[in-house]
Structure 1
C-alpha cells in the first residue's frame, strides 16, 4: 500500500527531495494517522512486511529511503543489502525498533546515513529526513568535479598552448559549462601560458605542489590569476623545475581541488611524458589529441594514440584535432588523409592563422581582441561549444 504524507501542512517546510518510507503495515498506519490523511507528493509511505523486497518503481524513483530493518530477520537484512547494491549512492535511513548503540554503529558502518526509531514519531522523522537531505546535498556539492581537459601534443611547436589560452576564454564566453574556467600550466620547464596572457603572477603551480597539508581550495584561488578575458590561470614557475620532482599524489589532489573550485579546468602539459604527466592526462575527462598535416606530426601522433590504447583510455574520451589546417590545394595531406592514417575521426580543425596571431601574442593579448572574425578564433569557439555540449552544459 502506498500513500503520501502532507509534510508542508504539518511543518511549514517542504522536503527538498522525493523520499520513501518503507515499513510494516502497522508502523505505516501509525505514521499516516499522525498527519490526518492529507496528501502531498514529497514523502511516500509503502507498507511492506520486513522480508518483502523494495519494489522496482520505488528503487527507481526514490531520492532518499527510510527502510525498516529487523536485525533478527535474515530477509530484512538481505533487503537492505539489495538496496545498497542496486542504489549505492542512495541516502538510506534505517528504521529500527529498540536499537542499541552497538547496532546503530554497525548500521552506520554499512553506509546508513542515520537511524530512525520505531514506532515513528512524525516530527522526529521529518527532522531526520530534512537533516539527511541537507547533509547529502552538501556531500554532493563537495563531490562535484568539473570537467577537466588537456591538449596532447606529440611534438613541440604544434601550438597547443596558443589554442589552450584561447580555448579557456572561449569556454568561459560560451557559458553553458559555467563562467569560472581555469587553465593550469603544468609545463614546469617551458610554460608560456602567463607570458601569452601578458601576466607575471607572483605565485605558481609549484607553490601548490609544495604546499603539502596546507593545500586547500583557498590556496588554489589565491594562486590563480584572473585574466582580463574572465578566465583564470595558474602559471608555471618562473624557474626551470626538474620534472622528476613532482609527487603524483600531491598533483592529483591539487587537480581534484581545482575541479571543485572551478566550472571547467584545462591543463597545459609538457611534451615529454613522465609518470606524473601521464597520470594527469589520464585523470582528464577529455583528451584533445593535437596533430598537424605533416608526416612527422602524424607519425608522432600515432605513437601517442597507441600509448593511450595500451593504457586503456576510452576512445570516447579522446578527440582528434587538426591544427593549422589548410585546404588540400595548399597541403599535400588533407584532413581526410589525417583521419584515414590515424584511423580516428577528426573532431575539429583549427585554421592556420595567416597573420595576427604572433603579433597578438607578442602583445600579451588574444587574437579575438584584434580580429574577432579570424578563422582561428571562429574554430576555437566551435571547439569550445563542442566540449560544453559533451558535458551537457553543466556548470
Structure 2
C-alpha cells in the first residue's frame, strides 16, 4: 500500500493520481512507522505541505535503510535548485502540485524501478548485464550516432538498455535524442563511494521503452570534478540494473575511457574509410594490445563504409591490419534522423543503416556469451610513462 504523507486537512486530493491502495499519514515520522508495518512497500509520496528540508533529509535517510524504496516529492513550485537538491538526496522525482498526469507517471516509474531493484538484489553475478564501450580515436566517425542506434537496436530486441554519455566535456547524446539534461552524471558526485540502484536510478532520463540515458554534464567545469572511480562505480551498479549498458566516449584515451574499457564486456571500435581515421584505428588497436585487453571482446566497425573515396573493404583491412566485423553504409537519412531526435533504428527499422546496425547487434552482442575479460594490467604504468 503506497504511503502518502499529506495532512487530511489539505484541500487537494492526491490519492486518485497515485493509483492503487494508499495509506495516508500526517507527518514524516509516521511514514517510518508505516514502512515498518509494511516491509514490502516501496513508494512514498510526500505532499506539498511537508517541509522541504525535512522531506529531503527523510529521503536521504530512507535510501540507506531501504534502498529499493522510492520517494516522490510534490511541491507547489518546482525550480532547478530544488530539483538538484532533491536528486542528491535520493528523491526519484519532483512533481508540481496539480499536475495529476505527471504524478501518475512518476509513481508508475518509481514502482517499476523498485521492482527492478528488488529483482537485482537477489541476482547472481552471472545474471548481470553487459557493458559495451563504443570508441573512435578520431572525431567525426559517427561514434555517438552508432552508440545511440546500437542501444536502440538492443532495446528493440526486448532488452533493458542504458546509454552512458561519457564524453563529459562535449557530450552529444542529449541533443541527438532531444532530451532535457535535468539530471546528469554530475548529480552522482554526492553519492560517490556509496552509490546504489536507487541513487543510480535517480540520475537517469527515460527515452523510451527499455531505453534510459545517463547524460553528460552541461555546466562548464563539471567534467573535471568527476573522478574515474565514480565512473567505475556507476558502471558496476548499472550493469546490475540493465541487460546492456552502452557507453559513448570522447575521441581520446582518457582515464575515464580506460576505466570504461576495463569494465566492458565488449569494445566496439569505429573508423571510417579515410586515411586519418584508419591511421588512428591502427594506433588504437596497438594501444589496446599494449594494455593487454583481450582481442576476443573487440569488434572493428567501418561507418559510412560505402563512401566513394577510392578505398575498398580489403584496403581498410590492410591498413588497420585487422578483420572488419561490421559495415555501416552511409545515408543522408542518418543526419535527418539526428535532427529529428529519433534514432534511425527506431524511425525506420527497414533502412539499410538500421538493418546493418541490428545485424551487428545480433551477431556480435546478442548471440555471443560474454568472454572472460582480462583487465588491462599495464594501464596504470603505461599512463605514467
TM range (shorter): 0.5 to 0.7
Q: Which runs of 5+ in 2 are unaligned?
A: 1-119, 371-385
Asked if 1:163 corresponds to 2:163, the answer is: no
Distance in 2, Cα, partners of 1:139 & 1:373: 39
CA distance in 2, matches of 1:221, 1:163: 24
How many Å apart are 1:148 and its aligned residue? 0.5
The offset of 1:240, in angstroms, is 3.2
Match of 1:147 in 2: 130
Q: Report the CA distance between 1:276 and its aligned residue.
A: 2.5
How far residue 373 of structure 1 moved from its aligned partner, in angstroms, is 2.5
Alignment partners' CA distance in 2, 1:230 and 1:288: 21
Distance 1:274 1:331 in 2: 31
Shift in Å, 1:139 = 6.2
Q: Name the SS for the 1:272 alignment partner.
A: coil
Name the SS for the 2:180 alignment partner. Answer: coil
* 1:230 positional shift: 3.3
Paired position in structure 2 for 1:363:
340
Asked if the contact 2:166–2:247 (Cα under 8 Å) also holds between the matched residues in 1, the reply is: yes
Count of residue pairs the alignment pairs up: 250
The match for 2:237 among 254, 257, 270 is 257
Residues in 2 aligned to 1:188 and 1:366: alpha-carbon distance in whole angstroms: 21
Taking structure 1 as the reference length, the TM-score comes to 0.60
SS of equivalent to 1:326 = coil
Counterpart secondary structure, 2:276: helix
Equivalent residue of 1:223, what SS?
coil
1:310-389 superposed matches below 5 A: 310-326=290-306, 330-353=308-331, 355-386=332-363, 387-389=365-367
SS state at 2:304 partner = strand
Q: How far apart are residue 229 of structure 1 and its match?
A: 5.0
Structure 1 residue 214, shift from structure 2 partner: 4.6
Asked if structure 1 preserves the Cα contact closer than 8 Å seen for 2:186 and 2:222, the reply is: no
Task: List per-residue Cα deviations over 1:284-329 (Å, max 9, x = no partner).
Answer: 11001101110111111111111101100111111100001116xx
1:194 counterpart (174, 180, 199): 174
1:207 aligns with 2:187: yes
Q: CA deviation at 1:246?
A: 2.9
Could you tell me which runs of 5 or more consecutive residues in structure 1 were left unpaired when the two chains were aligned: 1-136
Specify the structure having the higher radius of gyration (Cα). 1
